[in-house]
Amino acid sequence: MQQDLIEKHYGSVFNNEQSLLRAVLKIHNNGNTIDLDPMFNKGMFYKKGFVDFPKLKYDLSPIEGVKKGNATNLPLDACSVKSMILDPPFLFGIHGKTEDNVCSKRYTIIENFDEMVKLYKGILSESYRILEDNGLLIFKCQDYTDSKTTMTHSLVYNWAIELDFYAKDIAILVKNNKIFNPNVIQRHLRKVHSYFWVFQKKVHKSGEKKR
Ligand SMILES: C[S@@+](CC[C@H](N)C(=O)[O-])C[C@H]1O[C@@H](n2cnc3c(N)ncnc32)[C@H](O)[C@@H]1O
């Protein structure tokens, strides 16, 4: 009984990605899994079976069983998706030879800040197009410090609101086991947390202009 109560009442901070997602889906998606994951990579969200695999899986660099697709331009009809998740690369600023960078070839690092803005705005507006009214968008993001800090989660919030999403909720994932170089002088706090924004596409009354 006590355990049951605890499981039914979630806090907003988690240290396990799969449990976080399961809780978000329980509260905001009637416990159903996500329809679409267009940045699937290896599908770590669905590890351990806490969350079922989505029906639609895409990636620019797909593994077997995943379709090749660009999350900024998906082969899906407007207003056809109930729920989706975005987990774009969060590192940007490639140092050294771009063409030799393995991560840039696998699309897991973004070339620079402007390219990050273009990608993030592109995937947000494509999500807005394909989601049905009231549709759910979970957006995983992290702030990033290279030579300076970018509060990416605030940018994502602003861009989503501009598009007319409602920021319905937020969950925070804390991972304390991140690798770091102890010989480097620390100038910023090491970011051990990431954010899962829960956005909802707003319903518009008939006659009202829709973007
Ligand atoms: C941070 S990883 C996602 C990790 C994934 N959530 C998992 O659990 O394994 C980012 C993924 O986005 C993909 N990607 C980058 N840009 C993309 C785009 N425009 N469209 C689709 N996938 C893209 C990369 O290939 C990479 O697999």
Of 126-130, 144-148, 178-182, give the range with the top mean pLDDT: 126-130
* Ligand 1 contacts CB of residue 71 (under 6 A): yes
Q: Of 20-29, 60-69, 91-100, give the lowest mean pLDDT range.
A: 91-100
Q: Tell me the C-alpha distance between 28 and 26, whole Å.
A: 6
Residues 129-157 as b/e (b if ≥16 CB within 10 A, e otherwise) read bbbeeebbbbbbbbbbeeeeebebbebbb
Q: What is the 3-state secondary structure (H, E, C) of 35-46?
A: CEECCCCCCHHH
**57 strand-pairing partners:** 37
Q: How far is the CA of 156 from the centre of ligand 1 (A)?
A: 17
Q: Tell me the C-alpha distance between 63 and 59, whole Å.
A: 8
* Ligand 1 contacts CB of residue 139 (under 6 A): no
What is the pLDDT at residue 139? 98
Q: Tell me the C-alpha distance between 118 and 206, whole Å.
A: 31
What is the pLDDT at residue 102? 64
Which atom of ligand 1 sits closest to the CA of residue 85? 6
Average pLDDT score, the chain: 90
* Ligand 1 contacts CB of residue 91 (under 6 A): no
* Ligand 1 contacts CB of residue 43 (under 6 A): yes
Summarize the confidence of residues 69-84 as an average pLDDT.
98
Question: Is the pLDDT reported for residue 32 higher than 70?
Answer: yes
Question: Is the pLDDT reported for residue 36 higher than 90?
Answer: yes
Measured by CA distance, the residue closest to atom 12 of ligand 1 is 39
Summarize the confidence of residues 127-140 as an average pLDDT.
98
Which atom of ligand 1 sits closest to the CA of residue 17? 8
Using pLDDT thresholds of 50, 70 and 90, give the confidence band for residue 203.
confident
Q: Tell me the C-alpha distance between 28 and 21, whole Å.
A: 10
Question: Is the pLDDT reported for residue 70 higher than 80?
Answer: yes
Tokens 């991140």 locate to 178
Q: How far is the CA of 69 from the centre of ligand 1 (A)?
A: 10
pTM, rounded to two decimals: 0.91
Q: For a substitution probing ligand 1, which of 34, 61, 107, 119 has the most ligand atoms within 8 Å of its CB?
A: 107
What is the pLDDT at residue 99? 54
Give 168: exposed, middle or buried? Use CB within 10 Å, 0-12, 13-18, 19+. middle
Query: At 75, phi and psi to the nearest 5?
Result: -80, 55
Question: Is the pLDDT reported for residue 4 higher than 50?
Answer: no
Q: Which of 159, 101, 151 is nearest to 127 (CA)?
A: 159
Instruction: State how far the alpha carbon of 128 is from the alpha carbons of 12, 36, 98, 208, in Å.
Output: 25, 13, 32, 16
Q: What are the start-end ranges of the H helices in 32-143?
A: 102-105, 113-130
Summarize the confidence of residues 56-79 as an average pLDDT.
97
